[in-house]
């Protein structure tokens, strides 16, 4: 399959699914957290597929690698914030496990894409 758009990338598609799930989970957070943890978690989640898209749109492999690194950083931030939310009992075990599993999948895909792109850069 030819990749013509970032929307063709499986990692972007799963990242978008992750955002959707994060928004579902954070809807149940206390209203007092709307400008705190809720906002931070949502921003970190949105940053994951956004940076995949921006990196792909830049056109250069090295730039794409840079944005994938940012995406991985946002993913780590999201995981950390989700654990905090779980510890504060804002999210139950099942929901936390599901989102963390999705984060793991996205992370593996991001690292695989990075590895592939790094090999491409080394060939040049």
Q: How far, in Å, CA of 90 to CA of 28, rounded?
A: 7
Tens digit of each residue's pLDDT, the chain (124 residues): 567 899 999 999 999 999 999 999 999 999 999 999 999 999 999 999 999 999 999 989 999 999 999 999 999 999 999 999 999 999 999 999 999 999 999 999 999 999 999 998 888 7
Q: How far, in Å, CA of 43 to CA of 111, rounded?
A: 21
7: tokens are 């929307």
Q: How far, in Å, CA of 16 to CA of 20, rounded?
A: 6
For the whole model, what pTM was predicted? 0.94
Do 60 and 99 form a contact (C-beta atoms < 8 A)?
no
For the chain, domain boundaries: 6-20+34-123
30: tokens are 């206390």
What is the CATH architecture assignment of 6-20+34-123?
A: Up-down Bundle (1.20)
- Cα dihedral sign, 17-21-22-27: positive
């Amino acid at each position: 399959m030819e990749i013509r758009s970032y929307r063709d990338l499986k990692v972007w598609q799963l990242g978008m699914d992750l955002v959707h799930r994060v928004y579902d989970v954070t809807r149940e957070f206390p209203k007092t957290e709307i400008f705190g943890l809720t906002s931070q978690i949502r921003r970190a989640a949105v940053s994951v597929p956004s940076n995949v898209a921006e990196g792909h749109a830049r056109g250069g492999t090295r730039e794409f690698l840079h944005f994938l690194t940012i995406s991985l950083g946002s993913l780590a931030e999201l995981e950390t914030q989700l654990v905090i939310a779980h510890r504060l009992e804002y999210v139950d075990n099942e929901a936390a496990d599901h989102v963390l599993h999705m984060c793991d999948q996205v992370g593996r895909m991001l690292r695989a894409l990075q590895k592939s792109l790094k090999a491409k850069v080394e060939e040049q």
